[in-house]
Amino acid sequence: MTTFYTKWGAMLVAMSILSILTYNHYQQDLATLSPQHILESPPAEEVRLLGMVRGGTLRGDLEAGDAQFDVVEEETSLPVKYHGPPPENLRELKTLVLIGTWNPTAKVFEARDIGLVTNYGFVMGAYLIGLLPLVLIVFSMSRKVSLLYTEIKESTVYQPE
Amino acid sequence: MIHKAIRRIQRLKGWFGGGAALCIFAGLYLGLIDSPPDYYQGEVVRIMYVHVPLAHTALFAYTVLFGGSVWYLWKRDPIVDNMCHACAALSAIFTALALATGMIWGKPTWNTWWTWDARLTSFIVLLLILIGYLMLRTFIDDPEKEARYAAVLAILGFVDLPIIHFSVEWWRTLHQPQSFSIRGVSISSGLLVPLFCMSVGMSLLFSYMLMVRTQLLYLTHLLHAKKGRLLSQFHLSKADS
Amino acid sequence: MAFLKVVQWIVWKDLVTEIRSRETISSMVFFALIVILIFSFSFSMNQQAAQEVIAGIIWVAFAFTGIIGLGKSFSSELQNDCLESLQMVPAPKGAIFLGKVTANFAFIFVVEILLFPMFVIFFNLDVIEEIPILLLIFFLATIGLSAVGTLFSALTVQIRAREVMLPILLLPLVVPVMIAAVEATKGALHGDPFSLYRQWVELLSIFDVVFTVVSFWLFEFVMDS
């Protein structure tokens, strides 16, 4: 039985390493800033801004890839100047993620690309539901088989009295 | 005392288990960390690395069930019957998981939990056939009859499967616009490698689980026999006198 | 020639039993009538909506009625050890299968013929020109249902929860028959040209051929005692 538990302990360690690696990989995608954060502590490097396009503020030449609008989240509003690839799904009242830098002199966020607002809950849920039952079932079946082997070896044939 | 086929399985299963673990870890690493997100669906396409291998493995499992049933009807080997029973339970699990992950993939891409898509519908019918098989196994008492009838059911179900798939697919193309029938994944080579890895890994995992479960069923029967639980009251009373 | 003789004998036996007692067909007809009534109450619909769902209602009624008839075909053999005597007949078991399939097919088809005028009356269908093609669809679908259903009836008659297991095992396997029959009936009732729903009739024929052959071959394993 001890070799059994050692093998499964190694599996558990490998699974934890994989989950930590995955979490680290996606950490940077999860880190988005709100307009309030950018106004209060303006970052110097390129960041991701998450907010909603305020209604009535979208203007510019969308086919050429230029747009100006305001991004708002809970009362705080931030002007954005977008210059990048022509956006397919840029409309008012849409929540999106903008990748760009904050320009302190012009007091405007210069965005160079639009990212997708990914809902990682679905991906994580799918992987958990898809893989966790299998792991649990394999573990319990293997354990039962090991136990049965020892029990068969130890038990004696039934003798009616 | 243990049947030599079971002893052979005991020696072989380690390889399958190790191979399965290796392939699945590699596939997960490649799929989650190394591969790029899809252009249209973004990160959600990574669910494909779990759903499609599960679906392929479920169909592979059903093929194994069919092969085992034909083998049983030809040779009447009770170990093969154990294997069929094990295979059906595992097949049902893989089908149910494929359906669940398919539904979770459907919500962000099509914004519905369920749609009468050709593949999802034929998988539900497959799940029903498998559940019927397991119920049939439970409701028959005589083990020889149980094995025979279950084999007949498995063979019929397998022959029916392509017909079901085509009829459902024709039915869906009639009633739904074409945009739903393809998942909209632009298959680039970056996406294929993790998919292949996970598919192979899932099939190896299924083979490993099949071996373990066949052993489980066989050993349970053996233990019952050794402990005298398979003797009927008639034998016990005869032994007294 | 023992093969054909056995087939004839079984068909004759079932038909004569039925003509004398009339219990199977009458219970099937009344059950189907009740199903039609319940559907009329549950879908309170106007003429337009009725045309959409009527094909589905027809085939749901026929499927459940067929299951009743199929269940009875082998459970009536349980009394007086008739099942064991069937197993001892010195002819290939496929002959018994063909005999039973023909008898079941006859019963279900008669019920369908009796019931279709009720559908026409209750739902105001206008189908005089379509009668031949509808008969063809009913014929093909009923063959499919009876072939697989007879096999499962023989299989489930000897197990515990027999009345429940027959529909559970049968219905997933006849899903293609249901889909094809409903689509073909829908096309015929709409008055569409035949080329539009021709694929469904072809599917029904393929299903019938494949499944009669496979069930014929598998019946021997079910009837071994």
Chain A nearest-CA residue for B91: A134
Asked if C197 and C187 touch (Cβ cutoff 8 Å), the reply is yes
Q: Delimit the domains of chain C by residue range.
A: 2-223
Task: State what percent of residues in chain C have pLDDT above 90.
Answer: 46
Long-range pairs of A61-67 with CB within 8 A, sequence gap ≥ 24 = A62/A86, A62/A87, A62/A90
The beta strand positions in chain C, using DSSP E, are: none
**Cβ–Cβ under 8 Å, residues C201 and C136:** yes
Calculate how close chain A gets to B79, using CA atoms only, in Å.
16
A121 interfaces chain B, CB cutoff of 8 Å: no
Task: Using a CB–CB cutoff of 8 Å, tell me whether A30 touches chain B.
Answer: no
Q: What are the tens digits of pLDDT across the range B57-67?
A: 999 999 999 99
Which of B93-107, B149-163, B223-237, C169-183 shows the lowest mean pLDDT across its residues?
Answer: B223-237
> pLDDT tens across A42-60, in order?
777 777 788 888 777 777 7
Nearest CA in chain B to C221: B148
Q: Do chains C and B touch (3 or more CB pairs under 8 A)?
A: yes
Residues of C in contact with B163 (CB under 8 A): 176, 203, 206-207, 210
What is the pLDDT of chain B when averaged over all its residues? 84
- Rounded CA-CA distance C134/C137 in Å is 5
Q: Are the C-beta atoms of residues A71 and A51 closer than 8 Å to each other?
A: yes
Terminal-to-terminal C-alpha distance of chain A: 34
Q: Which chains touch A (3 or more CB pairs under 8 A)?
A: B
C139 burial type by CB count under 10 A (0-12 exposed, 13-18 middle, 19+ buried): middle
Put simply, the answer to whether C161 touches B155 (Cβ < 8 Å) is: no
Quote the pLDDT of residue B97. 94
Question: Shortest Cα distance from C51 to chain B (angstroms)?
Answer: 16
Average pLDDT, integer, range B208-222? 92
pTM for this model (two decimals): 0.85
The domains of chain A, with CATH numbers, are 31-115 (2.40.50.140)
| Res B178: pLDDT | 47
Measured between beta carbons, the chain B residues lying within 8 angstroms of C172 are 125, 128-129, 132, 157
Identify the pLDDT of residue B58.
95
Q: What six digits make up the tokens of A65?
A: 């890839």
- C contact set with B (CB within 8 A): 148, 151, 155, 158-161, 165, 168-169, 171-173, 175-176, 179-180, 183, 199-200, 203, 206-207, 210-211, 214-215, 218, 221-222, 224
Q: Searching chain C, which residue's CA lies closest to the CA of residue B175?
A: C183
Q: Using CB atoms, which residue from B43, B213, B231 is nearest to A118?
A: B43
Quote the CA–CA distance of B125 and B103 in Å, as a whole number: 15
Lowest mean pLDDT among A90-104, B81-95, B123-137, C64-78: A90-104
Q: How many CB atoms lie within 10 A of CB A67?
A: 21
Domain boundaries in chain B?
A: 4-34+46-178+188-225
Residue B127: CB partners within 8 Å, gap ≥ 6? B92, B95, B96, B99
Q: How confident is the model over C147-196, as pLDDT tens digits?
A: 999 999 999 988 888 888 999 999 999 999 999 999 999 888 887 788 88
pLDDT exceeds cutoff 80 at C107: yes
DSSP code of residue A52: E
Is the pLDDT at B182 greater than 50? The verdict is no
Mean pLDDT of chain C: 88
B162 and C CB contact within 8 Å: no
A128, A90 contact by CB (below 8 A): no
Residue B144 has pLDDT above 80, yes or no: yes
